[in-house]
Amino acid sequence: MSVPTKLQEPHLARRHRIGKAFEWVCCGSTWFGVVVLGVLLLSVGWKALTWPPAKAKPANNSTATVDAQSTSAPLSTKFFSSYDSRKPREAGILAAIWGSLWLIVLVALFSVPIGVGSAVYLEEYSNEGRLKRLIQVNLSNLAGVPSIVYALLGMTAFVKMFGFFTKDEGKSLVINLLFTTVDVPLPFDRTLISGALTLTLLVLPTVIVASQEALRAVPSSIRTASYALGATQWQTIRYQVVPAAMPGIMTGVILALSRAMGEAAPLMLIGALTYVAYTPGDITSVSDIFKNPHGLLDAPFDKFTALPLQIYQWINHPRAEYAHLAAAGIMVLLTILLLMNTFAIVIRHKFQKSTRW
Amino acid sequence: MTFMQSFTELVHQRQQRESAKRIRPVETEFSKLDVRNLNFFYGEKQALFDVSMTVAERAVTAFIGPSGCGKSTFLRAINRMNDIIEGAHHNGTVLLEGQEIYAPDVDVVALRKRVGMVFQKSTPFPKSIFDNVAYGPKVAGQRNHKGLAEIVEQSLKRAALWDEVKDRLQDSALALSGGQQQRLCIARALATNPDVLLMDEPASALDPASTSRVEDLIFELKQNYTIVIVTHNMQQAARISDWTAFFYQGYLIEKDHTQKLFTTPKKKQTEDYITGRFG
């Protein structure tokens, strides 16, 4: 194997070395994130699982028999079924979990129709023009606005309602449904619905942009074919475009919801409580819904707490034991977020395989 | 003149097939479509110049011509598919059975139900075979499942696809082969029970076997439908069409009986194009 001299280039070895070095730099960047995440998970997990301390059997506890049962070891059933408590051993995340669940459901209820509706209007109906471009630029900018700014807006618009109702404090609007009535407090005050509406504002730009991208990915030949068969624009959107864009829309919505789920700052500012000894609508299990269906209507107007807030409060607590509880709360929150993101990926993957244009 | 001879042969073969199948020769020449002085513009750019033409009922009319000559624009003007394109406008009249289709009181949705269209690239919806064919009647308000099933069966039979798919109507249409997908799109267009069927190069993306199946199908369909087909393939035009129109640079150069146009074209440009001297 003799290499002809013509094939020898100057500095070739050096150029290859640079290439190799670049590859290592990129590889390092990737692993930096993975390692940091790993360390975080390990430290949080260790902290969560080393509670309660093994030797812990306080001598001054007279009701020793009860103690063994009632200790809310993190990630035990007790931890999930108890409210927050002044005694770290009895504190749990029941109120926080239900609060977060309600938030997510309400945010989804508000943000999906509004977000998908705006995306459909922008992509399918509105004409290209200066106004559309203006809206588009604003949407992209809004997606990057810090959450605390939305919190200020939520505070003014929903919690205080611009001060319109300050004169008669505690007034509520009684809405008569067919079978029952709902008391809607005016202003909304520090209730679930204020929190949900604020978080909706926060995630709306993300939902709209994601939905727009999903709608844009639907090939125009589908629309043309539908029109050619005598479908109206509404029928084309309803039966062809939106169903085809659904996986993309769902993925965007779930990712936006998981962002809303992790937000603490806006909820803190609008004044969600940190110590709550009840769940919204007094619903603590699925069977409660059937026992007391009216709770579903009351829940949005109850005061609440949420997982990130509970975690924040426990971390700031002067007693060191609460740090373990916070770690356990983080584990729960991370697990839920991970499940949601996995779900989003599964949806995307499933539909990518079944629809090839 | 070997080109001319081969075309003559193709036309002759078709006539033999027609008499074998007892398809009446198209002499009545009742014109389904009557286009007068049509000018068409995409924004500033003019795509059609003063085109006037009649299209005979229950016959196949083929449009030939080099790319960008306006034949597809003309086709899409007949069911107003160009309306979707921003900045498209026209002047002149397009009469369907004597009725101006661009008149303000004509609903474009109703027009498209009467004038079906099949595209170059098959565009099955990502749904089942049944739902693809049933889509047209469904959006027109047909909800009765039994009625839909009948329409689907009839349309698939007319499109010569029924035997291949009757056992898997609920399978995804995307699982069909390219040729089957195109015949599905034809069945889908037939399901709305149109009078006129517009086809924009329906076989250009298909292999020779599928092409020949689609051509046979068009040949069968002309007994019941008025068919207008755009094609790049002049042999195809000679094989299946009764009338042929030659477009060049936005002008209708010549339209005549297929046999006459391919054997004794009146215009020099037509002769140059069909003998392959340009285009």
Q: What is the pLDDT of residues A180-239, one digit of tens each?
A: 777 777 777 788 888 899 999 999 999 999 999 999 999 999 999 999 999 999 999 999
Asked if B140 lies within 8 A of A226 by C-beta distance, the reply is: no
Structural domain total, chain A: 1
Q: Is A296 helix (H, G, I), strand (E, B) or coil?
A: helix
Q: Indicate which CATH number applies to the domain containing A252.
A: 1.10.3720.10
Q: Find the residue in A nearest to B115 (Cα).
A: A228
Tell me the mean pLDDT in the region A289-295: 78
Asked if A231 lies within 8 A of B117 by C-beta distance, the reply is: no
Tell me the mean pLDDT in the region A65-90: 65
Class of domain B2-274: alpha beta
**ipTM higher than the 0.95 cut:** no
Asked if A235 lies within 8 A of B81 by C-beta distance, the reply is: no
Query: What b/e readout covers B86-120, taking b as 16+ CB neighbours within 10 angstroms?
Result: eebebebebbbeeeebbeeeeebbebbbbbbbbbb
Cβ burial of B222 (10 Å; 0-12, 13-18, 19+) is buried
d(CA A206, CA A75): 33
Q: Find the residue in B nearest to A220 (Cα).
A: B123
> Which residues does chain A have within 8 Å of residue B84's beta carbon, measured at their own beta carbons?
223-224, 227
Q: Which of A221, A230, A355 sits opposite B139 (nearest CB)?
A: A230
- State the best of B118, B125, B142, B195 to mutate against chain A, taking most chain A CBs within 10 Å: B125
d(CA B60, CA B11): 13
Q: Nearest C-alpha of chain A: how many angstroms from B251?
A: 26
d(CA A137, CA A81): 46
**pLDDT single digits (tens) A305-352:** 888 988 888 888 888 888 888 888 898 899 899 998 898 888 888 776
> Which residues does chain B have within 8 Å of residue A128's beta carbon, measured at their own beta carbons?
86
Looking at the DSSP assignment, which residues form a beta bridge with residue B172?
A: B128
Chain B 143-172, residues with CB within 8 Å of chain A CB atoms: 172
Q: Which amino acid is at B10?
A: L
Question: What pLDDT is attached to residue B3?
Answer: 60
- Hey, what are A269's tokens? 């500012």
> Which residues does chain A have within 8 Å of residue B138's beta carbon, measured at their own beta carbons?
239
Question: What pLDDT is attached to residue B25?
Answer: 47
In-domain check, residue A285: yes
The pLDDT confidence band at residue A274, using thresholds 50, 70 and 90, is low
Percentage of chain A lying above the pLDDT 70 cut: 87
Asked if A229 lies within 8 A of B123 by C-beta distance, the reply is: no
- Give whole-number Cα distances, A134 to A8, A131, A137, A202, B216, in Å: 56, 5, 5, 19, 53
Asked if A221 lies within 8 A of B126 by C-beta distance, the reply is: no
In-domain check, residue A16: no
d(CA B247, CA B254): 7
Question: What pLDDT is attached to residue A82?
Answer: 79
Residue A6 has pLDDT above 50, yes or no: yes
Asked if A229 lies within 8 A of B185 by C-beta distance, the reply is: no
Instruction: Fill in the DSSP letter of residue B128.
Output: B
Place of tokens 């975690």: A311
Nearest to A258 by CA among A155, A344, A145, A149: A344
pLDDT beneath 70, residues of chain B:
1-5, 19-29, 278-279
Question: What pLDDT is attached to residue A356?
Answer: 52
In-domain check, residue A212: yes
Cis omega before residue A52 (within 30°)?
yes
- Hey, what are A256's tokens? 């936006």
d(CA B7, CA B2): 9
Domain span holding position A291: 74-351
The pLDDT confidence band at residue A96, using thresholds 50, 70 and 90, is confident
Helix (H) / strand (E) element for B45: namely: strand B45-56
**pLDDT single digits (tens) A128-175:** 888 889 998 998 888 888 888 988 888 888 888 887 776 566 667 777
Asked if B139 lies within 8 A of A224 by C-beta distance, the reply is: no
In-domain check, residue A181: yes
Residue A355 has pLDDT above 70, yes or no: no
Q: Which amino acid is at A281?
A: G
Q: What's the pTM? A: 0.80
Residue A299 has pLDDT above 90, yes or no: no
Question: What pLDDT is attached to residue A129?
Answer: 83
Asked if A239 lies within 8 A of B139 by C-beta distance, the reply is: yes
**pLDDT single digits (tens) A31-63:** 999 999 999 999 988 888 876 654 444 444 444
Q: Nearest C-alpha of chain B: how many angstroms from A28?
A: 42
The pLDDT confidence band at residue A66, using thresholds 50, 70 and 90, is very low
d(CA A267, CA A273): 9
